[in-house]
Amino acid sequence: MLSGLRLVSEAADLAARRHKGMARKGRGNEPYINHLAEVAGILAEVTEGADAELVAAGWLHDTIEDTGTTRDELAQQFGDHVAALVDEVTDDMSLPKAQRRQRQIESAPHKSPGAKLIKIADKISNIRARIRSDPTAEERADLTDYADWAEQVVAGCRGGNAALDQMFDDTVKLARSSP
Ligand code: ZN
């Protein structure tokens, strides 16, 4: 078992390598790693650094979905718990977007406590990126649509961490008020 600091460092390292060259399309084209750093940072902040496996899973949360990394691979390097968390927040990309979105709403209440926290942190980061990118009218519509959906997913994830719930609410408020 890796120590907490090593676990988080190695997770950041693998995430950086696996997501190399990826950017967040239409959101200021930020490097993808910025999103992962933000999600991991939010999780570290709201748990006051008490859960290294959660923060490591934050770094790795999109590796199965977006980079072809397998759950087994993650389990081998980071342990079963981290691998299970990442697996839980992985969408089935063979489904069309509308169906994936619906499934996230329905499955959210059944996720483990840690997976729920990652889901909320992910939505916060995704909304912030859409605000930061100085959105066009079309992107504003996308932001509103995304925030509406994120609220439905997060409704099924709340209650595990009051600071995180508050951060999400503040972020949605900002999304609705930004010009
Ligand atoms: Zn993500």
Tell how far the Cα of 1 is from the centroid of ligand 1, in angstroms: 26
Give the tens place of pLDDT for each residue, 124-154: 999 999 998 778 888 889 999 999 999 999 9
Q: How many CA atoms lie within 13 A of 1 on its CB side?
A: 7
Tell how far the Cα of 179 is from the centroid of ligand 1, in angstroms: 25
Contact 144, 150 (CB under 8 A): no
pLDDT on residue 24: 85
68: left (phi over 0), alpha (psi -120 to 50) or beta: left
Residue tagged 């409704």 (tokens): 155
Contact 167, 42 (CB under 8 A): yes
Give the tens place of pLDDT for each residue, 17-28: 999 999 987 667
pLDDT on residue 136: 87
pLDDT on residue 27: 64
**38 is an active site residue:** no
Higher-confidence position of 109 and 131: 109
Tell how far the Cα of 129 is from the centroid of ligand 1, in angstroms: 11
| pLDDT over threshold 90, residue 117 | yes
Q: Give the Å distances, CA to CA, from 133 to 24, 40, 53, 73, 157.
A: 10, 21, 31, 34, 27
**CA atoms of 39 and 114, how far apart (whole Å):** 13
Give the tens place of pLDDT for each residue, 159-178: 999 999 999 999 999 999 86
- Cα torsion for 126, 59, 161, 112, to the nearest 10°? 100
According to CATH, the superfamily of the domain at 4-177 is Hypothetical protein af1432 (1.10.3210.10)
pLDDT on residue 37: 98
Average pLDDT of the chain, as a whole number: 94
Q: Give the Å distances, CA to CA, from 160 to 32, 111, 166.
A: 27, 12, 11
Q: Where are the domains of the chain?
A: 4-177
Give the tens place of pLDDT for each residue, 46-73: 999 999 999 999 999 999 999 999 999 9
DSSP symbol at 39: H
Mean pLDDT value across residues 80-109:
97
pLDDT on residue 153: 98
Tell how far the Cα of 122 is from the centroid of ligand 1, in angstroms: 5
Catalytic member of 66, 87, 91, 169: 66
**66 is an active site residue:** yes
Tell how far the Cα of 61 is from the centroid of ligand 1, in angstroms: 6
Based on its alpha-carbon atoms, the radius of gyration of the chain, rounded to whole angstroms, reads 16
Tell how far the Cα of 3 is from the centroid of ligand 1, in angstroms: 25
Catalytic member of 30, 65, 73, 87: 65
